[in-house]
A = this chain, B = another copy of it.
Amino acid sequence: MNQNMEVDNERMEKSLRKLGEWKEVVNELLEKEFKTYTKRAKEIHPEASRMVEYLRNFSMRGGKRIRPGLVIAGYKAVGGNNHGRITKAAVSLEAFQTYVLIHDDVEDEDDERRGGPTMHKMYEEVYEKEDMIGGKEKYGRNIAITAGSLAGSYSVDTLSKTDFDAETKIKAVRKLEQIHRYTAAGQTLDHTINHRKTEEVTEEDVLKIHELKTAQYTIAGPLELGAILGKGTKEQIKVLREFGIKAGKAFQTYDDMLGLYGTKEKLGKPVDSDLKEGKKTLLILKALENGNEEQKRKIKNALGNEEITQEEVEEVRKIVKETGSYEYSKKRVGKMIEESKEALKDSNEINPEIKEFLLGIADYIITREV
């Protein structure tokens, strides 16, 4: 989708290499954290150990570690220079992400994540293997809710035990809980609009979800958390937030495009899952706004249809392009990415190396393969 955009490929590749390096360290530290939690769980009960093992499996089997990477970037952006210390703190947001994904999968009743079974599916296997009673789905769901919450608890604990001074850590914990509140509000709004009739849902609602679930949670929140740990100034934090909110909104709009036009291999989940769950994306809303009666009817039939065929998915893809909705989202994404880059470029407050890194990340957001 980068044909009309000014993308500096060399800079982007450099950012991705940097993100990849950080990912390696984050993964090593994650493994170490799981070892600590396993040791503690073993003292409690075999069921507690199994849960840590399953959380480890779920966390380590995939994920780009974008959020931890942005915590590290936010810290360095404001002049922080203790790499070991910030990396340990960054792990916290990956534990948080595990928590969010597990609950999300329970709520959407999805079977696959990161190319493997979702947490509730893993426990449904336990149910079968150990010949349990009382309902497989219920068992899987209930244990997965607890497993998600446990990962959430790890995120606070991991952050609290880092080597930053206590004042700074308390500020960071409060920021983490603010991110938690935004994420919860986004999740609530997301479920609510998906349960409202399509004609009652506004573009504004959808963009609010993008702001809360992605802009705040995925980009701005991690950057700000890192900046707080690096004792950044208000001005520095403001610049990072502005970049993060704009880039984050673009990220989610683009993600919804990937969700409709991507492949299972790239997404790590079936391509029809957004349609099956009746997700009212900007793509869908605009197509309904601009489509003729026939096109509207076809989209409405596809939305929330658990039995949707590959043919019907193709039909929706076609309509979204024909109605100009695809082009509309694409333009929005491009504009927001441009604005996010300008917010950064105009500032003298941000470490120049990290500025380059973030500009590369902004390009990456709109260059991921569809």
Given A139-B191, A169-B170, A173-B160, A185-B48 contact (CB < 8 Å): yes
Encoded as 1 (CB less than 8 Å from any B CB) or 0, chain A from 233 to 273 comes to 00000000000000000000000000000000000000000
Encoded as 1 (CB less than 8 Å from any B CB) or 0, chain A from 168 to 208 comes to 01100110111011101101110110111100000000001
Q: Which residue in chain B gives the minimum CB-CB distance to A197?
A: B133
A106 interface residue (CB < 8 Å to B): yes
A351 interface residue (CB < 8 Å to B): no
Do B134 and A181 touch (CB < 8 A)? no
Contact of A153 among B132, B169, B177 (CB under 8 A): B177
A344 interface residue (CB < 8 Å to B): no
Given A134-B278, A170-B160, A191-B107 contact (CB < 8 Å): no
A157 interface residue (CB < 8 Å to B): yes
Given A157-B174, A173-B173, A195-B127, A47-B189 contact (CB < 8 Å): yes
Do B170 and A166 touch (CB < 8 A)? yes
Which stretch (A3-11, A37-45, A64-72, A360-368) binds chain B?
A37-45
Q: How far is the CB of A54 from chain B (nearest CB, A)?
A: 10
Contact of A166 among B150, B167, B185, B304 (CB under 8 A): B167
Contact of A174 among B107, B160, B182, B184 (CB under 8 A): B160
Q: Tell me the complex Cα distance, A316–B278, Å.
A: 46
8 Å CB contacts to B: which residues of A272-302?
A: 278
Do B145 and A185 touch (CB < 8 A)? no
A161 interface residue (CB < 8 Å to B): yes
Do A44 and B133 touch (CB < 8 A)? no
A142 interface residue (CB < 8 Å to B): yes
Label chain A's interface by main secondary structure: helix
Given A160-B170, A174-B161, A195-B127, A134-B304 contact (CB < 8 Å): yes
A323 contacts which chain B residues (CB < 8 A)?
A: none
Q: How far is the CB of A192 from chain B (nearest CB, A)?
A: 5
A160 contacts which chain B residues (CB < 8 A)?
A: 170, 173-174, 177
A133 contacts which chain B residues (CB < 8 A)?
A: 195-197, 304
Do B152 and A195 touch (CB < 8 A)? no
Instruction: Among A44, A143, A165, find the residue whose CB has the most chain B CB atoms closer than 10 A.
Output: A44
Q: Tell me the complex Cα distance, A40–B184, Å.
A: 13
Do B44 and A195 touch (CB < 8 A)? no
Do A134 and B194 touch (CB < 8 A)? yes
A170 contacts which chain B residues (CB < 8 A)?
A: 160, 166, 169-170, 173
Q: Tell me the complex Cα distance, A55–B174, Å.
A: 20
Do A192 and B145 touch (CB < 8 A)? no
Contact of A142 among B181, B182, B191 (CB under 8 A): B191
Encoded as 1 (CB less than 8 Å from any B CB) or 0, chain A from 140 to 166 comes to 011101110110110011001100011
A143 contacts which chain B residues (CB < 8 A)?
A: 188, 191-192
Instruction: Among A130, A139, A169, A170, find the residue whose CB has the most chain B CB atoms closer than 10 A.
Output: A170
A107 contacts which chain B residues (CB < 8 A)?
A: 141-142, 145
A212 interface residue (CB < 8 Å to B): yes
Q: Tell me the complex Cα distance, A106–B184, Å.
A: 17
8 Å CB contacts to B: which residues of A69-90?
A: none
Q: Tell me the complex Cα distance, A51–B190, Å.
A: 13
Do B146 and A188 touch (CB < 8 A)? yes
A121 interface residue (CB < 8 Å to B): no
Contact of A146 among B131, B176, B191 (CB under 8 A): B191
State the 7 A-B residue pairs at the shortest beta-carbon distance, nearest first.
A166-B166, A153-B180, A48-B185, A157-B177, A132-B195, A107-B142, A150-B184
